[in-house]
């Protein structure tokens, strides 16, 4: 069962599961989803790790505030959550928007990290007009109106054609994302440029990307690898943007190996 805690001036919905005294793995989800995105990781990893996951500002059951947001603001939410829970140091894994938060975490709060994992993410939006178009589409059509195109970017065609129950669950996450929160995070992503801070990251870093990721392609992951000193890159075959769902077994294996090596 999730809980609500006050941190950084908002009510944050979170779950903390796993054995007492175990190292903490903090998971940060993508835009237009919520903490349920990580169910397959919790099922696999909560035996040996205490797993903390939370709904990002404006998503799930976490408080919605007026837009625009910044990635720095979302990072401050994450740090404030750790402080409120009296957790000093974590393994951090973020996907897409969560990976953008993770880059700033590594650059500015590396002393609070055992390890860092950046999944299906990028350091810079090279064409911000894409986000202007997505913002306009959401404003005009609502979240249900952008669901189909979003799912087509998040998963491979074969997965969409065969995994109906999972696609429906992810579709519900999109439908249920508050429009104000979605737009606020879109503005944060649109303006984000982390290229100048990557060299500050000293934490052992794993970069994961789906081989068929359209949103943050392999080239974006390779750029991260080239610019983060202590990093390694794992490309997951037969996966698109939400590689943690589409190929969860392979994803879990490489993530667990990384965090085990950096306890």
Q: What pLDDT, in 10s, does the model give residues 121-148? A: 999 987 888 999 999 999 999 999 999 9
Is the Cβ–Cβ distance between 57 and 65 less than 8 Å?
yes
Dmax (CA) for the chain in angstroms is 48
In the chain, pLDDT over 90 holds for what percent of residues? Answer: 95
Using 50, 70 and 90 to split pLDDT, how confident is the model at 149? very high
pLDDT at 98 over 80: yes
pLDDT at site 128: 82
pLDDT at site 8: 98
pTM (2 d.p.): 0.98
Over residues 77-89, the mean pLDDT reads 98
Pairing between β-strand 10-17 and β-strand 50-54 as defined by DSSP bridges? antiparallel
What is residue 80's three-state secondary structure?
helix
pLDDT at 68 over 90: no
pLDDT at site 152: 97
CA distance 173 to 242: 13
**What distance lies between CA 191 and its chain's CA centroid?**
17
Exposure string over 31-62, b if 16+ CB within 10 A, otherwise e? bbbbbbbbebbbebbeebbbbbbbbbbbbbbb
Counting Cβ atoms within 10 Å, is residue 174 exposed (0-12), middle (13-18) or buried (19+)?
A: buried
Over residues 185-202, the mean pLDDT reads 97
CA distance 128 to 189: 9
Q: By C-alpha distance, which of 153, 149, 147, 189 is closest to 170?
A: 147
pLDDT at site 126: 76
Using 50, 70 and 90 to split pLDDT, how confident is the model at 180? very high
Over residues 144-160, the mean pLDDT reads 97
* Averaged pLDDT score across all residues of the chain: 97
Residues 6+ apart with CB under 8 A from 184: 57, 58, 65, 66, 67, 68, 69
In the chain, pLDDT over 70 holds for what percent of residues? Answer: 100
Using 50, 70 and 90 to split pLDDT, how confident is the model at 207? very high
Which pLDDT tens digit goes with each residue over 222-255? 999 999 999 999 999 999 999 999 999 999 999 9
pLDDT at site 191: 94
CA distance 121 to 205: 13
User: What is the rounded end-to-end Cα distance, in angstroms, of the chain?
Assistant: 27
Using 50, 70 and 90 to split pLDDT, how confident is the model at 1? confident
């Amino acid at each position: 069962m999730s809980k609500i805690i006050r941190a950084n001036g908002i009510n944050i919905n979170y779950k903390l599961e796993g054995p007492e005294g175990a190292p903490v793995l903090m998971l940060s989800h993508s835009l237009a989803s919520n903490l349920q995105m990580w169910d397959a990781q919790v099922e696999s990893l909560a035996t040996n790790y205490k797993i903390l996951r939370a709904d990002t500002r404006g998503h799930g059951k976490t408080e919605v505030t007026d837009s625009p947001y910044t990635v720095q603001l979302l990072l401050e939410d994450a740090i404030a959550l750790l402080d409120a829970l009296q957790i000093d140091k974590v393994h951090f894994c973020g996907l897409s928007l969560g990976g953008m938060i993770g880059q700033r975490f590594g650059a500015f709060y590396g002393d609070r990290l055992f390890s860092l994992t950046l999944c299906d993410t990028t350091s810079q939006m090279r064409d911000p007009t894409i986000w202007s178009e997505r913002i306009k589409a959401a404003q005009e059509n609502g979240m249900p109106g952008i669901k189909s195109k979003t799912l087509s970017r998040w998963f491979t065609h074969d997965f969409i054609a065969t995994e109906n129950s999972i696609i429906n669950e992810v579709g519900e996450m999109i439908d249920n994302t508050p429009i104000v929160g979605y737009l606020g995070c879109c503005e944060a992503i649109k303006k984000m440029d982390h290229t100048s801070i990557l060299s500050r990251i000293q934490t052992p870093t794993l970069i994961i990307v789906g081989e068929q990721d359209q949103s943050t392609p392999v080239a974006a992951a390779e750029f991260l690898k080239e610019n983060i000193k202590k990093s390694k890159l794992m490309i997951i075959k037969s996966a698109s943007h939400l590689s943690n769902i589409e190929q969860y077994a392979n994803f879990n294996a490489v993530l667990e190996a990384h965090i085990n090596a950096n306890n």
